Amino acid sequence: RLHLVTWNVGTASPPPDVTGLLQLDSLGPAMDMYVIGLQEVNSRITNFLSDLAFDDPWSIFFMTVLSPLGYIKLSSVRMQGLLLLVFVKHVHLPFIRDLHTHYTRTGLYGYWGNKGGVTIRMSLYGHTICFMNCHLPAHMENTEQRLDDFEKILEMQFEGENIPSTLDHDVLFWFGDLNFRIADYGIHFVRESINNKRYNLLWEKDQLNMAKKKEAFLQEFIEGPLQFKPTYKFDLYSDVYDTSEKKRKPAWTDRILWRVKNLCQNASKEGEFSEEEQPISVTLENYISHMSYGISDHKPVTGTFGLELKPLLSDPLVTLNPKGEWNAEHDGLINYSSVPEFPSSAWDWIGLFKVTFKHANDYITYVWVEDDEIASNKDSKQVYMCAAEIPDTGGEFLLCYYSNNLQSIVGISQPFQIQPNRTLTEKDLTQAENRRIQKPDNLESHDEF
C-alpha cells in the first residue's frame, strides 16, 4: 500500500497534527510506503542556508511522526521550494535498489528553481518505479507553458548506467501543484457548482482534462475522479474560497496521476494480455482532499494505492544477524552473508540502529565490514562491535548493512534486545539514557539542492 501526498504549503511551518493527512487512524492495513511531495517550502536565503546544514523542518517533522511507527526516510530531494520525501517500512529495505534523485529547473527559462520538478526513482522488488513532484507555471493563460515544462521534465535523464528514461519505468507517478485551471466558466457558475457538489459540470473545462484529450503524451496518464472540491484558492485557516480583491476562481491545481508502462504497451493488443499475466498493477483506493488543513491557500490532496507486484527479487543481497545474546558489557558479534553477485566494497559498513531509526545515517555506531572482520569462510563472515560503542542502557535494536556501491541499506536484521550494563547503577543508566536523548541527531547529507 502506497500513500501519496501533494501539498503546496505556502512557506508555512508544519501543522500540529497530520494523522488525517497520513491516514494514521485508518482501520485498514498499514501503509508500506509514504511519498510526500511539497511545493513552496520556505526557501528564503536564511532558511535555505540553514537547511543545507541540517534537515529542513518539514523533513524533521515527518521523520518524527513516522519513525516511531517503523518507517525510515529512504530518500529525499529538494530544489528551492520543491521537496520530495519517500518513507518505507523496514521490511522492504533489502528489496529497494538503484535509488537515484534528480531535479529540473524550468523557472526563468531553466535558470531558476522556483518552478520545475524533483524526482526519485528506484527498483522495488525488481520493478522500476518513479515519483515526480512538479510545480508548474501559474495563471489561467499559461496552459501551453505548463505542458511544455512538463515535457521538459519528462525528458530529463538520471545519472548512471542502465537507468531507464522516465517514461520507461514500469510505474510513473506524476503529482504536485500542476496549476491547471477551470477555463471558460465564470466564477459564479464555478462556485455555484461547487456549493451544489456538482463537480462533474466543471470536469470538461478543467485544463488538464482538456489537454489529455489532445496531447498524446498525456493520454497514458490515469487520474482518479475529481470528487472533491477544487483545492485552490482558500483564505488561510478556513474552507472559504478567496475573498481578497483578486477573487481567484477555484481550481483543481493539486493533482495525482500515474502511468503503468505495460498498460500503455498493450492497450492496442486487446485480448492478448490478461490481467493475470501482468507483473505489476496499480489500483487507486481513494483520491481525496483534506479540507481541515488551513496553513496555506491550497488544500492537500492524497491518493492511496494498492501496488500488486510479482516479485522479481526474493532474496536480500545481504543477510545478517547478531550472534548469540548481546549485552553492553561485552563486544558484540555479527554474522552476515551475501549473494554471489553482490558488489561489495571496502567502504561497506554495518550499523547498529534503534528500532525507531529515522534514516540511514541515524545509527548509534557502526563497524567497517573489512576492517572489523574476525572470521570468514565461503558461506559467511563475522565482524565484531566494540563493547565501548554499545549503549550501556541496552534496549531494542536492529543491524543494517549499508552498501557504498549501491548507496543504500541492502540487509536488515530482525529486532533484538541488548541487555544493559549490569555494573552500572540505576542512576548511572538513567543519566546515560538522558545524555543519549539530548545528543543531537546525526547530520544527514542532502541529495540535491
Res 439: pLDDT? 43
Q: Are 74 and 124 in contact (CB under 8 A)?
A: no
Q: Is the pLDDT of residue 265 over 70?
A: no
214's grid cell: 489532445
**CB-based contact 362:447 (threshold 8 Å):** no
Q: Are strands 373-376 and 381-385 parallel, antiparallel or unpaired?
A: antiparallel
Domain co-membership, 149 together with 221: yes
Cell matching residue 372: 572489523
Same structural domain for residues 325 and 298?
no
Average pLDDT score over residue span 284-303: 97
Residue 357 lies in a domain: yes
- pLDDT computed for residue 434 by the predictor: 62
* DSSP assignment letter at 28: S
Q: Is residue 439 part of a domain?
A: no
Q: Which three cell numbers stand for residue 233?
A: 484558492
The answer to whether residue 391 is domain-embedded is: yes
The reported pLDDT for the residue numbered 106 is 84
Which of 259, 286, 309 represents a domain boundary (last residue)?
309
Range of the domain at 339: 318-425
Average pLDDT over residues 212-218: 94
| Residues 351 and 216 occupy one common structural domain | no
Which amino acid is residue 318, in one-letter code? Answer: V
Distance CA 440, CA 56 (A): 15
Same domain, 136 and 192: yes
Q: What's the pLDDT band for 252 if we cut at 50, 70, 90?
A: very high
172 burial via Cβ count (<10 Å: 0-12, 13-18, 19+): buried
Here the CATH number for the domain that contains residue 25 is: 3.60.10.10
Residue 222 in any domain: the answer is yes
Query: Average pLDDT, whole number, for the chain?
Result: 89
pLDDT tier for residue 412 given thresholds of 50, 70 and 90:
very high
Per-residue DSSP letter, 387: G
- The beta-strand segments (E) located in 261-393 are 280-289, 301-309, 318-322, 326-327, 332-338, 349-354, 365-368, 373-376, 381-385
User: Which helix (H) or strand (E) element contains residue 62?
Assistant: helix 57-66
Q: What is the pLDDT of residue 273?
A: 42
Residue of 156, 171, 377 lying closest to 280 (CA atoms): 171
Q: In what order do the strands lie in the sheet with 381-385?
A: 318-322, 332-338, 381-385, 373-376
C-alpha torsion 241→247→248→251, nearest 10: 30
Which CATH number fits the domain that encloses residue 332?
A: 2.60.40.2840
Q: How many Å apart are CA 322 and CA 315, to the nearest integer? A: 19
Would 434 be classed as within a structural domain? no
Same domain, 276 and 340: no
- On whether both 280 and 359 belong to a single domain, the answer is no
Closest CA to 172 of 147, 153, 145, 199: 153
Residues 122, 214 within the same domain: yes
pLDDT > 70 fraction of the chain, expressed in percent and rounded: 87
Do 51 and 112 share a structural domain?
yes
Q: What amino acid occupies position 82?
A: L
Helices and strands counted in the chain (H then E)? 9, 22
pTM value > 0.75:
yes
Same domain, 133 and 277: yes
Task: Find, among 380, 369, 136, 374, the residue nearest to 251 by Cα.
Answer: 136
Closest CA to 29 of 85, 84, 91, 113: 91
Q: 244 with 302, same domain? A: yes
**Residue 448 within a domain:** no
Q: What is the pLDDT of residue 404?
A: 92
C-alpha cell at 280: 505489476
- When pLDDT is averaged across residues 224-238 and rounded to a whole number, the result is 97
Taking the CA atoms of 267, 273, 278 and 281 in sequence, report the sign of the dihedral they define. Answer: positive
83 and 50 in a common domain: yes
Residue 144 resides in a domain: yes
The residue type of 329 is: E
Nearest to 163 by CA among 101, 245, 256: 101
d(CA 446, CA 250): 36
Chain centre distance of CA 118: 11
Is position 433 within any domain? no
Total domains present in the chain: 2
Same domain, 273 and 349: no
Q: Domain ends where: 309, 336, 353?
A: 309
Which of the listed residues 309, 334, 350 is the one where a domain comes to its end?
Answer: 309
143-154 vs 207-214: helix crossing angle, rounded to 10: 60
Please tell me which residue, 175 or 114, carries the higher pLDDT value.
175
